[in-house]
Amino acid sequence: MKAVILDADSLGEGIDLSPLEQQVDELVCHPLTAPHEVNQRIADADIVITNKVVLNGDTLRNANQIKLICVLATGMNNIDRDTANELGIAVKNVEAYGTPSVVQHTLMMMLSLATKMPVMQKRMAAGDWQQSPLFTLLDPPTYQLAGKHLVIVGSGELGQAVKKQAEALGMRVTFTARPGKTDDSRPSFDALLPEADVISFHCPLTEDTKGLLNRNNIKHCQPHTLVINNARGGVANEHDVLEALRKGQIGGYATDVLPQEPPKDGHPLLDALNEPLNLIVTPHNAWTSPEARQRIIELTAENISALK
């Protein structure tokens, strides 16, 4: 069997591909693949491996040999799964490969927002400590997480792992009901907002979670509430969140995701990084520890092995 990786550069350097090589007769790696190159590169492939390269219906119908599509990620929105199913092409993703990495990133964001690190770093760069009449800077005051209430949207493996670490910090943790599910007995997201000290998103982007946090319900948040989004861009309405942050309706916002990635057209949150706000934006790199990326290869190899 021949396998083709369409965007191997998304794995970064130093990743051992031998688990994949052991499963196939030939492995062809392309660093990146432009849309106009896809048809030619998958024409004689039995297995197509992709992270973010789009495989639409026309592309799949033009490829005669594909038996399996392996996605090097959890999300599969770049694959026309209906057409794949119609053609008898299996589609497999990878899950839970980066749980420790993403949990670590979430804690970093939570602790950084609580200690007002983004604002303090700007004050340090401006020379405020050097000019202080005291030995310290007391403004803005830091925020102790012990005893505070963390509300998590998404009770899967990631959410459960964040809960465990937050409880180790002395926090009380509550999971919301799954948005859009009327048979979930847990309290809804909106019902928990008034008592949330910290909110952390670990849910997929769906019609029910799009814009879940927005100007209509932000007004029910406490002014010190810290919000963390390591889920998907658009789960929180970024424009509304930024407005709330500027108005002091929430105490901080940290995100590793934006609706368009990379944000080639810019984004208001990126512009706001120059403002004295308790704001963190990272480049969708919560998952990128070498251990997590190597685990992607191992899980993909298992997906290929299951086909044989």
- Annotated catalytic sites, by residue? 232, 261, 284
Q: What token pair was written down for 252?
A: 């901080």
Cross-sheet strand order for the sheet of 2-5: 26-29, 2-5, 47-50, 68-71, 90-92
Alpha helices in the chain, H assignment, sequence order: 18-21, 38-42, 57-62, 81-86, 99-114, 117-125, 157-168, 189-192, 215-218, 238-247, 268-271, 290-307
Rounded-to-integer distance, Cα 76 and Cα 82, Å: 12
**Within a 13 Å sphere around the CA of 149, how many CA atoms are in the beta-carbon half?**
14
Which residues is 147 bridged to in the sheet?
none
Rounded-to-integer distance, Cα 252 and Cα 272, Å: 13
Kindly give the pairing relationship between strand 90-92 and strand 149-153.
unpaired
* Residues in contact with 18: Cβ distance below 8 Å, sequence separation at least 6, in sequence order: none
Q: What token pair was written down for 148?
A: 């505070």
